[in-house]
A and B are shown apart, each in its own frame.
Chain A
Amino acid sequence: MKITQIKFWQLLSVLALTILLFSSSYAQREQWYGALTYSVSVPAGDTKDIIEDIGWWGLGLDYRYMVQKNLSVGLYFGWNTMYEKVTGLTELNTDPPGAIYGTQENTINSFPIMASIHYYFGERKQLRPYIGLNAGGSVMLQRKAIGIYLWDNDQWQWGVAPEVGVAIPVERDFGLLINGKYNMYFSGEDAIGNDVNNAYWAINVGFVWEP
């Protein structure tokens, strides 16, 4: 566990701008498209035991390359924030063991970075439902603050995110994107060092643009 707050939003902004610049330069090839979405996080699995509230702050970035008419490979970047303030008891599996009762603030910032593959139904320039799988992991910034006590645990967690969604064309090279990604991570610890398998739904709504 370490007490370091990393400004990942800076990293995310660089990634976003880089992707958009590539988008412009590759526009003529008509093989790429990108998506920027607002992301809502719904805790699930072990994460729900830590934070029950829905996280209303988040971003998703997708960049996909069409390898076939109905198949793309690409990259997925995200930022999902979950936060909850509750009063209760936290058991500490530390040495010595113990427990802390008080008002606690739990925060998780998840930054998934994954490779993706998607299969699209229907025809290009039409409403296109799709299914996909993202695989990689996430940088997890996890914090538990109970009054004066503070635990930070920032770590990389491996995981996958199955996805279903739909792309809705609006203009020739522009459309809307709605999808749901079930982010689930195979290994990791929570803020105080207990083993957890973090999981959450990322419900994303945003724009898709294509050449």
Chain B
Amino acid sequence: MRKTTLSLIIFIAAAIFILQSCYPGDELTYSDTDIVATFYDKDADFSNYDTYIMSDTIYTFDDESQSLIPNDDISLTNKTTILNGIESNLENIGFNSTSNPSDADVVIAVVVTSSTWVGGGCYYGYWYYWYPYYSWCYPVYYTYDTGTIIIAMIDRSVTEERPGLWIATINGLLSDASTELQSRINQNIDQAFSQSPYLGEGK
């Protein structure tokens, strides 16, 4: 084998060794994991919904009963920040609040996961007395970190199990103990609404 060919073989071997990583990637920082995912019912006409009711309870998933139960682990500060953030965004895009369930077009349910949660499936809530039927389904299957905030907008008139009209998921946010948490909550809730301009249609 000639020298030229031999040197080329060595060159190729070295190059392949250097280039062998198909997915170079970087290490993710904590803020890199801030993710806001939103999904919506493509058949929904959001101009038909302009009044909402939102419980002042934040829920978590109960795996055994496949239902929502109150999440008692959330600090009052975080709870207030979350609920105020949702409320101000809803009102900014033209929704009106009501305390009378029969006047509401949609129910807003807020969930914060207290363990790693494999998303997907349908859940009942303790607010079923707001009649007629408030089971709703999370439409996408993923695994979410502890401390994920889920905001579900449910059509109050629906009488069957179906995905929420609009679902926002903010991954793993409340597992952060840093001082920046409050601003990150606000920032990410704002982002959820700003990437869902259809919510404000017709208002």
Contacts and interface: CB of A to CB of B under 8 A. Distances in A.
A81 B22 contact: yes
Contacts of B195: 89, 99, 101
A135 interface: no
Contacts of A27: 2
A100 B25 CA distance: 19
A97 B41 CA distance: 7
B19 A96 contact: no
A85 B26 contact: yes
Interface stretch (A103-111, A117-125, A159-167, A178-186): A103-111
A147 B143 CA distance: 11
A96 B163 contact: yes
A172 to B, nearest CB: 10
A20 B16 contact: no
B94 interface: no
B34 A102 contact: yes
A24 B24 contact: no
Give the 7 A-B residue pairs with the shortest CB-CB distance, closest first.
A98-B39, A102-B35, A103-B32, A147-B35, A101-B36, A96-B39, A147-B33
Interface of A: 5, 7-9, 12-13, 16-17, 20, 23-24, 27, 36, 38, 57-59, 79, 81, 83, 85, 89, 92, 94-103, 105, 107, 109, 141, 143, 145-149, 173-174, 207, 209
Interface of B: 1-2, 4-5, 8-9, 11-13, 15-16, 19-20, 22-26, 28, 31-42, 139-140, 142-145, 163, 171-172, 191, 195-196
Given A103-B31, A107-B22, 13 more contacts: A24-B1, A94-B140, A96-B41, A97-B39, A100-B35, A101-B195, A102-B32, A102-B35, A102-B36, A103-B34, A107-B25, A148-B145, A149-B37
